[in-house]
Chain A
Amino acid sequence: MNAGSRKIVPRPKALNCPSCGSAIELRAMGAAATVVCSYCSSTLDATNPQLVILQKWQSQMTVHVQIPLGSRGSLFGAVWEVIGFQQRGITVEGTDYYWREYVLFNPYKGFRYLSEYENHWSFVQSIPSLPVHGVNSHNRPTVTYSNLIYDHFQTAQATTWFVIGEFPWQVRVGEVVAAADYVSPPYMLSSESTANEITWSRGVYVPGADIWAAFQLPGAPPAAIGVYSTQPAPVDNRPGRPWKLFFLFSALLIAMMIFFAVKARQETVLDQTYTYVASTPGEKSFVTPPFVLNGTSANLQVEVTGMDLQNEWAFLGMALINEETGQAYDFGRQISYYFGTDGGESWTEDNHSDSATLPSIPGGRYYLRIEPETEVGTGGAVSYRPIKYNVKLVRDVPFYFRYFLGLFLLLLPLPFLGRKGANFESLRWNESDYGVPPNAIVWQSNSSSGDDDDE
Chain B
Amino acid sequence: MSQPTAICPNCGAQIRFRWSSAIQTTCEYCKSILVRHDVNLEKVGQVADLPPDISPIQIGTEGVYRDTAFQVIGRIIYSHDVGAWNEWHLMFSNGSSGWLSDAQAEYAVSFLSQPETPLPAANQVYRGWEFVQQNVRLAVTTLTEASYEGVEGELPFQYWDKAKCPFADLRSSDGRFATIDYTETPPLLFLGEFVEFESLRMVNLKEFEGWTA
Contact = CB atoms under 8 A, between A and B. Distances in A.
Do A and B touch (CB < 8 Å)?
yes
Contacts of A79: 211
A10 B54 contact: no
Nearest to B71: A3
A107 interface: yes
Interface in A154-179: 168-170
B208 A129 contact: no
Given A128-B194, A130-B173, A193-B127, A110 B106 contact: yes
Residue among B18, B81, B139 with most chain A CB within 10 A? B81
A47 B194 CA distance: 25
Interface string B32-67: 000000000000000001011110101110000000
Contacts of A26: 52
Interface stretch (B115-123, B140-148, B154-162, B179-187): B140-148
A109 interface: yes
B104 A129 contact: no
Interface in A175-225: 193, 195-199
A334 to B, nearest CB: 84
Given A4-B60, A128-B194, A196-B143, A168 B82 contact: yes
Given A28-B54, A198-B141, A8 B206 contact: yes
B52 A30 contact: yes
A128 B144 CA distance: 17
B208 A107 contact: yes
Contacts of A6: 204, 206-207
Contacts of A193: 127
Given A9-B208, A126-B106, A128-B108, A196 B142 contact: yes
Contact of B105 (A49, A110, A130): A110
Nearest to B60: A3
Contacts of A49: 49
A8 B175 contact: no
A422 interface: no
A107 B54 CA distance: 7
A1 B56 contact: no
Interface string A4-15: 111111111000
Contacts, number: 125
Contacts of B141: 130, 197-199
A365 to B, nearest CB: 87
B173 A168 contact: no
A33 interface: yes
B84 interface: yes
Interface residues of B, number: 45
Nearest to A27: B210
A132 B142 CA distance: 18
Given A4-B60, A108-B213, A170-B81, A31 B104 contact: yes
A450 B38 CA distance: 65
A168 B83 contact: yes
A3 B204 contact: yes
Contacts of A129: 171-176, 194
B131 interface: no
B93 to A, nearest CB: 15
Nearest to B170: A130
A165 B121 CA distance: 38
Contact of B172 (A11, A12, A33, A130): A130
A372 interface: no
B127 A30 contact: no
B194 A30 contact: no
B21 interface: no
B140 to A, nearest CB: 9
Q: Which 9 A-B pairs have the closest CB atoms?
A: A110-B105, A30-B52, A33-B83, A128-B194, A3-B60, A31-B54, A196-B143, A168-B104, A29-B54
Given A6-B206, A49-B49, 17 more contacts: A4-B204, A9-B208, A10-B209, A11-B209, A26-B52, A31-B104, A47-B51, A107-B54, A109-B105, A110-B104, A111-B104, A129-B194, A168-B104, A169-B82, A170-B83, A197-B141, A199-B142
9 contacts: A5-B60, A30-B53, A47-B83, A109-B197, A126-B106, A128-B177, A129-B173, A170-B81, A196-B127
Interface of B: 18, 28, 49, 51-54, 56, 58-60, 79, 81-84, 104-106, 108, 127-128, 139, 141-144, 171-177, 194, 197, 204-211, 213
